[in-house]
Structure 1
Amino acid sequence: MNNNNSYKLSKRIFTCFFLIILLCIIVFQKNGSLPSEYNIQIGESHTINTKFPLSLSFDETVEDILEISKINDRNNIFSRVNNQIHLKSIEKGSKELKYNILGFIPYKTVRVNVVPKLYLYPGGQSIGVRLNTEGVLIVGIAEILDDEGVKHNIAEASGIRIGDSLMAINNQKVENKYHVIEMLQNSNGEKITLTIKRNDKYFQTDITPIKSSEDKKFKLGFWVRDKTAGVGTLTFFHEESSKFGALGHAITDVETGNILSVKDGEIIKSKVVSIQEGKKGRPGEIRGLFYELDKPLGRLLKNTIHGIYGELINDINDSKYNKPIEMAYQHEIEVGPAYILTTLDDNKVDRYDIEIIRINTQVKADSKSMIIRVTDDRLLNKTGGIVQGMSGSPIIQNNKVVGAVTHVLVNDPTKGYGIFIEWMVEESGIFDKKM
């Protein structure tokens, strides 16, 4: 009899455990995209919706920065099983709310940040970008033929790869490709030590230059590049800090695909001279011409996977807005109509209608935050949709800057990706001064 009772008890425990596991699976499926962080501007409100069996809990200190109330419609059965919490921000600060399963099983912690309102001037101007790399980028490996007809592949033998950056020779910092040539010829063929950067890690390797039979000069067996230039679109600038952001994605080397590290650089004015229309399977392109080279718009300080950033040093006079507008956080963005600001061959910033068709909730920065579709016939007739050179065009919705265009869908140029503006502002360093 005791054995039978023990069996029944074990069975009940197992059943309860199984039901809890099943509930957890349901929660993961229904609420897998719940963000881990909310940014709410001072004076703004936000409603958090959770589905059964999740509920929210918090301690009393949350009320220092947030006014929290539960929405409960007694006539609506769904409001009894779902948990709607209305947050109204009061004061700057950060607090934690906790998701629980069935009110007692811890599931997830979400941080709510009450932040100051931030106002940005949206861009849309076509800009030229000139970038000088830190060190020199290795873009090719080659054999060297010596005077005796022997071929040497000393770069590969020394562990050097395409995409590496040569930072120093004999611990002397490399300034540019001409500096490399000078130090190499001064070596007189003696062994030298190279400092190489690969994926943000540094290592050293010893190598002995070979005198080439072709031009009688000492060589290391690799090709280098120290600068690049291109055309893109300004996303925003912030008057108080003089910081700007553009492109929404990194500047990469054409041959290696590596993100170029910035030694220095600048953004300058650019005129659109021609547009190659985008087709299915073949991205289009805006071609630009730099001008007023002696009067750059700004200094380039950062090149990241989420855009380029720096400080303005001259006024941008052709903005579509003569007053800044609010920046939106991701929870404020909606599926539906919006518009972008960009410059075509009339060389003035204009607005073009789009639709945000998908929003990807993100807990960390990513350049594919949303999918957009061009709906403006003027833009479709001129470019076929989104084209190269349009990257960085600000996305505006409900009179707030919500993001920037980043990539085109190759098989459908009417569609593309956008990045949340909050990620770009975070990268720019504006928050360092505001928070």
Structure 2
Amino acid sequence: MNNKLTKLVLFSLLSFILVFVNYSAPIQEITKIPSNFKIFQGEKLNYSFPFPFKVTFETDKEGPLKISEKDATTIEAVTTGTASLNLKLFGLFPLKHISVDVVPTIKVVPGGQAIGVKLNTKGALVVGYSDIIGEDGKIYSPYKEGRIQIGDIILEVNGLEIKQAEDITEIANKLKGDPLKLKINRKNSIVYAVIHPVKSKEDKQYRIGLWVRDHTAGIGTLTFYYPSKKVYAALGHAITDIDTGHVLSVENGEIMNTRITSIDQGRRSKPGELKGVFFEEVDAIGNILKNTPFGIYGYIYRDFENGFYGEVPIAYQSQIKEGPAKILATIDNKGVQEFDVEIVKKAYQESPTPKGMIVKITDRRLLEKTGGIIQGMSGSPIIQDGKLVGAITHVFVNDPSKGYAVYAEWMVNEVNSLLDDKQVFTNE
């Protein structure tokens, strides 16, 4: 009986300890650490765990990491390379295995400048349908014949490339009602359709009953640029069609200097907006080559001024803390200004996704002027501890003081692929 009772007590005690350990704050923090992360050569990471949690860190003796343990654990990235890091509780029980990449420091110039954006799509994007009254007075819907879908991109008609929306009508009228063979990009797959145009009773033009769009324009914010390569990153999110929500493909486009003329304040359930003017002929400062979930990218035509901060290193996720930070934004004719924000929450991401952080505007000046995050501020760089940590991307519709932000490292990945698949993005 005593043996059974002793075993029961020991089992209960062990179960309690395991539950307590697994759900304690220090262990929960450890589980949040990604299994693979990057730090810069020369950087130091400090970890401290309260009594009785003794967590030891083990790594290769000849590797790029140096570990010192006194009151706290300090991990120093001594040289570039990859290291394995093993965390153990009390030096006995394995907690986590981590792969650490030590990389050279990456420096960029943060932006904050308001920019005009004009993007011409590759082909014509289908955004709506329209029935046609034919010369006989009957109603026709030729788009149904081809089973055209909203969001389809018409690339070619009868083998002729479509560069602007008017090209489709022009080809249809030249053929005087003969069938049109359409080459379509549908969700990144090529499909074909045949449509018989109908001559409209109203204007005597041959039409296929589709509303299409071939360009878009708006205002955003430059996130950073890299002077020696003359490449920039902006917006932090993709340019999408206002009607369909589809990411727009890029035929060509430009970014331009913009003058802010007015502000629509953001309110609950009503996003605000920066309004401005730009002139393509005189204000163009760069081209648009990529439109991705992490922003737009291209080359600048001429050097910018050195920016609000000058060159700063980017920060990887492991270097970012929940807490105070700054953003750079242009909201009037005073140019780039610095405003206080707080990183409310950061999500550990092992693969790129746009929503990495939740950011709250705390600066009274910005709240009074804009109400918080508004359209046009997308791409505003976030600075913490002298490093570029990310960019504002989306506002919370029900609370304009808060919004999402993307990590800077994902934007740097896009810059790398723009420069060259084999290009290493480092300072020279």
> TM-score, with normalisation over the residues of structure 2?
0.85
Which of 286, 298, 301 is the matching residue for 1:310?
298
Q: SS state of the match for residue 427, structure 1?
A: helix
The residue number in structure 2 matching 1:76 is: none
Q: SS state of the match for residue 100, structure 2?
A: strand
The residue number in structure 2 matching 1:122 is: 110
Does the C-alpha gap of structure 1 residues 99 and 50 become closer, same or farther in structure 2, counting only changes over 3 Å? Answer: farther
Which of 337, 340, 355 is the matching residue for 1:353?
340
The residue number in structure 2 matching 1:38 is: 37
Which of 298, 314, 319 is the matching residue for 1:332?
319
Does the C-alpha gap of structure 1 residues 157 and 99 become closer, same or farther in structure 2, counting only changes over 3 Å? Answer: farther
Equivalent-residue separation in structure 2 for 1:305 and 1:72 (angstroms):
44
Q: Is the 8 A contact 1:116 1:434 kept in 2?
A: no
Q: How many residues align?
A: 407
The residue number in structure 2 matching 1:173 is: 161
Does the C-alpha gap of structure 1 residues 208 and 331 become closer, same or farther in structure 2, counting only changes over 3 Å? Answer: same
Gap runs ≥5 in structure 1: 1-14, 74-83
Moved more, 368-377 or 118-127: 368-377
Paired amino acid for 2:402: K
Q: SS state of the match for residue 378, structure 1?
A: helix
The residue number in structure 1 matching 2:423 is: 432
1:295: Cα distance to partner?
A: 4.5
Equivalent-residue separation in structure 1 for 2:326 and 2:120 (angstroms):
34
Q: Is the 8 A contact 1:298 1:313 kept in 2?
A: yes
Which of 262, 279, 296 is the matching residue for 2:284?
296
Equivalent-residue separation in structure 2 for 1:103 and 1:184 (angstroms):
76
Equivalent-residue separation in structure 2 for 1:317 and 1:368 (angstroms):
30
Does the C-alpha gap of structure 1 residues 186 and 347 become closer, same or farther in structure 2, counting only changes over 3 Å? Answer: farther
Encode CA deviations 1:189-235: one digit per residue, 9 max, x unaligned.
22222111122111112222222222222211111110110001111
Which of 363, 369, 378 is the matching residue for 1:391?
378
Identity %: 40
Encode CA deviations 1:74-113: one digit per residue, 9 max, x unaligned.
xxxxxxxxxx864322332334446789999998653311
Equivalent-residue separation in structure 2 for 1:367 and 1:360 (angstroms):
11
Q: SS state of the match for residue 102, structure 2?
A: strand
The residue number in structure 1 matching 2:367 is: 380
The residue number in structure 2 matching 1:235 is: 223
Q: Is the 8 A contact 2:109 2:306 kept in 1?
A: no
Matched, 1:409 2:404: no
Equivalent-residue separation in structure 1 for 2:408 and 2:318 (angstroms):
12
Does the C-alpha gap of structure 1 residues 207 and 119 become closer, same or farther in structure 2, counting only changes over 3 Å? Answer: same
Does the C-alpha gap of structure 1 residues 282 and 114 become closer, same or farther in structure 2, counting only changes over 3 Å? Answer: same
Matched, 1:113 2:104: no
Which of 367, 379, 402 is the matching residue for 2:354?
367
Equivalent-residue separation in structure 1 for 2:179 and 2:89 (angstroms):
66
Paired amino acid for 2:191: F
Q: How does 1:22-421 map to 2 (within 5 A)?
A: 26=22, 30=28, 32-47=31-46, 63-69=62-68, 71=69, 86-97=74-85, 110-291=98-279, 293-317=281-305, 319-321=307-309, 323-421=310-408
Moved more, 367-376 or 41-50: 41-50
1:147: Cα distance to partner?
A: 2.2
Paired amino acid for 1:397: Q
Q: Is the 8 A contact 1:27 1:54 kept in 2?
A: no
Moved more, 27-36 or 220-229: 27-36
1:173: Cα distance to partner?
A: 2.0
Equivalent-residue separation in structure 1 for 2:172 and 2:60 (angstroms):
66
Q: Is the 8 A contact 1:66 1:89 kept in 2?
A: yes
Q: Is the 8 A contact 2:254 2:286 kept in 1?
A: yes
1:142: Cα distance to partner?
A: 1.6
Encode CA deviations 1:302-327: one digit per residue, 9 max, x unaligned.
11111111111123238323x31111
Moved more, 148-157 or 296-305: 148-157
Does the C-alpha gap of structure 1 residues 432 and 96 become closer, same or farther in structure 2, counting only changes over 3 Å? Answer: farther
Q: SS state of the match for residue 294, structure 1?
A: helix
Q: Is the 8 A contact 1:271 1:291 kept in 2?
A: no
Equivalent-residue separation in structure 1 for 2:138 and 2:92 (angstroms):
75
Equivalent-residue separation in structure 1 for 2:236 and 2:378 (angstroms):
6
1:58: Cα distance to partner?
A: 5.1
Q: Is the 8 A contact 1:268 1:293 kept in 2?
A: no
